[in-house]
Amino acid sequence: MKKCALIGCLVGLVLAWGCAGTRPAPARAAAPTTQPVTVVPQADWSEAVLYFAITDRWADGDLANDANVDRSAKGAFHGGDLAGLRQHLDEIAGLGATAIWITPVVKNIDGFVTGAGFPDWAYHGYWADDFTRLDPRFGSEAELKTLVDECHRRGIKVLLDVVYNHAGYGSHYLKDPKTRAWLRSEDAGTCGQDDLTTCVAGLPDWKTEQPEVAEFLLQAQLGWAAGSGVDGFRLDTVKHVGHPFWDEHRRRTREQLGQGFFLLGEVWGGDAQVLDPWFSTDELDAGFDFGFQGNVLGFVQGRGRAVAFDRYLKSREKVRPGHLLVHFLSSHDVPGALYQLGGDTTLFRLATVLEFTSIGIPVIYYGEEVGRPGGEWPENRSDMPWGDRGILPGEGKPRDEALRADYKRLIAIRRAHPALSRGVHEKLVAEGDLLVFLQKDPSSDDAVVVAVNRGEKPVVARFPAPEGWGSGPVRDEWNGVAVPLTEGAVETTLNGKTAQIMVRAARH
């Protein structure tokens, strides 16, 4: 796509490629001929299992676009691209994930910054230099379109990460006389002190309150969605852009991209209460629950009482009806869960059981399912481990295939039981290191009991069988064994640092 010329600085400015719908469709890259791994598509977003991949760190599918690649440097580009994502989609589909979230694809700044103490490049996509071009280091528009088509062929939805709040360090928009007044910057001394006018991390801040700026950004980002066919956006730095912008953004996405176009917002520190100002005005469909990671890791490590953790799980139901919380154990902005657990995969498995038995949308951060430890930034953005498969940039990095198999099993259990995605939470037992809770979906009568023993010693869990279980039989789906049910009560022993996921089994 040719770089657009901006015509004037008026409310009615028009980009050279026009409104969504007038932009010419890109030529498509050749589609693969092999039969793909498919998943049963999610019925709606409440059933989603979301896989998040930093494109540059996933897989290098085209060595020809490897500009400024240095795989030995932690802050450099490592060569991952859209072609690599497409070529290895079966890795994601094979887990059972129903949606993927990919990092921004727009043209980013060419150079690096050194504030972190080392050369730090825009491999992550969040430092835009041109919102109207796709970064050639990630590939072409045709490859983006083909990636989305191949996801859809597998039954997988796609969320594209987009940034409305800021441009990249030293972006050309700061130098262009047509656009430099559209940004607050530290160099100009125009950054404010509040959420809406601050320059986050020193990045140039778009004056999204100005109609001509909002129009430019909306046409640019909605154009990418229209051209590629993505199913929604992951919205960066939401609280640093005003509500009037997000209200117009919602109206325009529905008008131009369809009523079902999904909006997932990052409001730092978000939970059901913090997110409600965006939910109450229907500006977002979902937002991140930033407290989930800390609460889960604290519980499995023995911090706090089981009853307090149970209250946290119950509090997540307070999200406004029709909106969703999205929860994660690891992300690109915080140290990974496995790292925080000191590499203890036994505790990490307990944490994943809790992630996949909690309401909302669980996120798998690329590689944690095969034991990528994460670490402090920037190690939390290390390469996807590919073992001996010969896939760059993570060739030779070890994989824990047994852990991946457990992820696959947990996702299958979750997808088979709607109570785990949207059920009502009820505490059954919270004593010492033992927590037992019921998730029940009133619309389907699906009922699942989850039991976690975070302690070292075996414990016996006794609780009344949920209504509808009758005389059984009961099966622990996580461990694949029968569980005794006698006279309306369940009694089961959990060894140290183990979990059970119990359901009423079908009679044969």
- Whether 310 is in a domain gets the answer yes
Report whether 71 contacts 393 (CB < 8 A). yes
Q: Which helix (H) or strand (E) holds 84?
A: helix 82-87
Distance CA 267, CA 448 (A): 31
Report whether 78 contacts 356 (CB < 8 A). no
Tokens in use for 336?
A: 């990974």
Q: What is the three-class DSSP state of 150?
A: helix
If asked whether residues 229 and 367 sit together in one domain, one would say yes
Q: Which helix (H) or strand (E) holds 58?
A: helix 55-58
If asked whether residues 394 and 468 sit together in one domain, one would say no
Distance CA 85, CA 56 (A): 9
If asked whether residues 358 and 493 sit together in one domain, one would say no
Q: What is the three-class DSSP state of 283?
A: coil
Domain of 452, CATH number, reads 2.60.40.1180
Report whether 159 contacts 100 (CB < 8 A). yes
pLDDT number for residue 10: 31
Report whether 459 contacts 450 (CB < 8 A). no
Structural domain including 406 reads 45-416
If asked whether residues 411 and 500 sit together in one domain, one would say no
pLDDT number for residue 32: 53
Distance CA 34, CA 347 (A): 38
- Whether 106 is in a domain gets the answer yes
β 498-504/446-453 pair status = antiparallel
If asked whether residues 433 and 285 sit together in one domain, one would say no
If asked whether residues 412 and 431 sit together in one domain, one would say no
- Whether 156 is in a domain gets the answer yes
Q: Is the dihedral of CA 323, 274, 51, 124 positive or negative?
A: positive
Domain boundary among 416, 446, 465: 416
- Side chain identity, residue 451: A
If asked whether residues 369 and 430 sit together in one domain, one would say no
Domain count, the chain: 2
Domain boundary among 363, 394, 416: 416
- Whether 2 is in a domain gets the answer no
Phi, psi of 122 (to 5 degrees): -90, 40
- Whether 340 is in a domain gets the answer yes
pLDDT number for residue 508: 57
Domain of 238, CATH number, reads 3.20.20.80
If asked whether residues 228 and 255 sit together in one domain, one would say yes
Is the N-terminal amide bond of 378 cis, ω within 30° of 0?
yes
- Cross-strand bridge partners of residue 216: none
If asked whether residues 428 and 293 sit together in one domain, one would say no
- Whether 24 is in a domain gets the answer no
Is the N-terminal amide bond of 466 cis, ω within 30° of 0?
no
If asked whether residues 361 and 446 sit together in one domain, one would say no
Distance CA 116, CA 202 (A): 13
pLDDT number for residue 507: 65
What does the angle CA 10 – CA 16 – CA 17 come to, to the nearest 5 degrees? 125
Per-residue 3-state assignment (H helix, E strand, C coil) for 388-452: CCCCCCCCCCCCCHHHHHHHHHHHHHHHHCCHHHHCEEEEEEEECCEEEEEEEECCCCEEEEEEE
- Whether 266 is in a domain gets the answer yes
Which of 220, 214, 213 minimizes the C-alpha distance to 245? 214
If asked whether residues 311 and 191 sit together in one domain, one would say yes
In 21-105, DSSP assigns E strands to 50-53, 99-102
Domain boundary among 416, 439, 467: 416
- Whether 381 is in a domain gets the answer yes
pLDDT along the chain (508 residues), means of 10: 34 34 44 80 98 98 97 97 98 98 98 96 98 98 98 98 98 97 97 98 98 98 98 98 98 98 98 98 98 98 98 97 98 97 98 98 98 95 98 98 98 98 96 98 93 98 93 94 94 98 84
- Cross-strand bridge partners of residue 125: none
pLDDT number for residue 4: 38
If asked whether residues 177 and 288 sit together in one domain, one would say yes
